[in-house]
Amino acid sequence: MDSQSPITHVHDASSRHRVVVIGSGFGGLTAARRLAKADVDVTVIARTTHHLFQPLLYQVATGVISEGQIAPPLRVILRKQDNVRVVLGDVEQIDLESRTVTSRLLERVTVTGYDSIIIAAGADQSYFGNDQFAEFAPGLKTIDDALELRGRILGAFEQAELSTDQVERERLLTFVVIGAGATGVEMAGQIAEMATKTLRDAFRNIDPTDAKVILLDAAPVVLPPYGGKLSERATARLAKNGVDIQMGAMVVDMDYHGLVVQDGDGTRRRIESQCKVWSAGVAGSPLGRQLAEQSGVELDRAGRVKVRADLTVPDHPEVFVVGDMMAVDGVPGMAQGAIQGAKYAASAITAGLSGSGPESRKPFSYWDKGSMATIARFSAVAKIPIPGTSRSIEMAGFIAWVGWLVLHLVYLVGFRNRFTTLVDWLFAFTTRSRTQLAITEQQVFARNAIDELEERTRMDEAA
């Protein structure tokens, strides 16, 4: 820690049980709200000022809705909850022995003590050891990612409009989405729809409908968790919308102008494309490694924490790990896993206030409420398990799409956000219009400029 950085120690004037919640996503927000009536003092430490509804980030990236609709201010959400304070900062250290959390905002360091802690720091984008790909193919985990991708997508059309070189135009109008999970499928479908509907007739030197959208993945099928008929239906609908689906194709190299893929037979080929989107994998928060070093808890291949049955780490019943950071068999990295895990952890802490010890905790049990993914307007797939059986209800098409809309509206925070999102959806899905197509150069290049500035600063400090 920089000795010159101002350090703030957060102490509570009361003697109440102190709970620290790390993260402001579904897990963090749910945990804080669940403890609203508990006799505890809650400190939420978050790296952003907002709660992010991540499942709709792709709609921000493709101009359907605005970032504000899925990222309401965290302090405003929790303002009526008197036992909660919010600390803005990036968590640098969790000390299990001293029971403190060290976070940093710019040069200001904050040390927060706790009696119980709920770690819901989420997951980062995984490039499977090829982190250099991030410069050429941003992921889709944050608002910054979504705005940058919007700028790259629309910027590619603008550059193509100015180009007189046919080869360059084809490269600019080729969009590659890497990863055929839910995010990749939704992203590819929306780019194709933007090109064929929203931007049609908007340019004079190019025809946006000539754009080529490629969805590729090393997996053999689209939407592997769904499988069977649902994967087939999704594949057929994407193809109908003009998406070129290339399965069994693994990305092995990438640069600004394109990427190299290796097919199942070992042959390699190059795809010329300036605009690329990465949605192929996730990695657990680096905080997981800290927990492993201090407690001996195991991590899975993605860096997620293999928690005990009560979602804690060995020898530390006061340390709960939930959401995308936890590795529990049968619990997918989805919002419901984070929400249910956070509710369980908050309930365990509340029970402990009444004298209930860790040994009395029942194992965490996950209720699989199913999963959904949109393919295009009026088309989605849904798989809903039937309780008590090994079977599921499978739906595809318009009914699944309506169900997807309703579910996502319900989980949006705030009536105003639900209302404005519904209005934007009505315009986007019943007309060719999209209300959020503004882009700036800063949105496209700011991240790289910041990275270069930080690298120069590190070099200057080293010198």
Please list the active-site residues: 186
Give me 322's structure tokens.
Answer: 């939930």
Please name every residue paired with 380 in a beta bridge, in sequence order, or none if there are none. 374, 397
Do residues 372 and 186 touch, judged by C-beta distance below 8 A? no
Spatial neighbors of 16 by CB under 8 A, at least 6 apart, are 39, 40, 41
Query: Rounded to 5 degrees, what are φ and ψ at 451?
Result: -60, -45
Handedness of CA 363, 122, 372, 412 (dihedral sign): positive
> What is residue 38's three-state secondary structure?
coil
Spatial neighbors of 130 by CB under 8 A, at least 6 apart, are 251, 254
Do residues 39 and 353 touch, judged by C-beta distance below 8 A? yes
In angstroms, rounded to a whole number, what is the distance separating the alpha carbons of residues 67 and 56? Answer: 9
Between the two ends of the chain, the Cα-to-Cα distance in Å is: 19
- 273: how many CB neighbours lie within 10 A of its CB? 23
Please name every residue paired with 42 in a beta bridge, in sequence order, or none if there are none. 19, 84
In angstroms, rounded to a whole number, what is the distance separating the alpha carbons of residues 397 and 381? Answer: 7
Handedness of CA 304, 309, 311, 313 (dihedral sign): negative
> What is residue 60's three-state secondary structure?
helix
Packing angle of the helix pair 335-353, 26-34 (nearest 10 deg): 30
In angstroms, rounded to a whole number, what is the distance separating the alpha carbons of residues 51 and 72? Answer: 6
In angstroms, rounded to a whole number, what is the distance separating the alpha carbons of residues 6 and 137? Answer: 37
Pairing between strand 116-119 and 17-22? parallel
CA distances from 56 to 126, 275, 323, 367 (A): 20, 20, 18, 23
- For the chain, how big is the Rg over CA atoms in Å? 23
Do residues 287 and 94 touch, judged by C-beta distance below 8 A? yes
> What is residue 133's three-state secondary structure?
helix
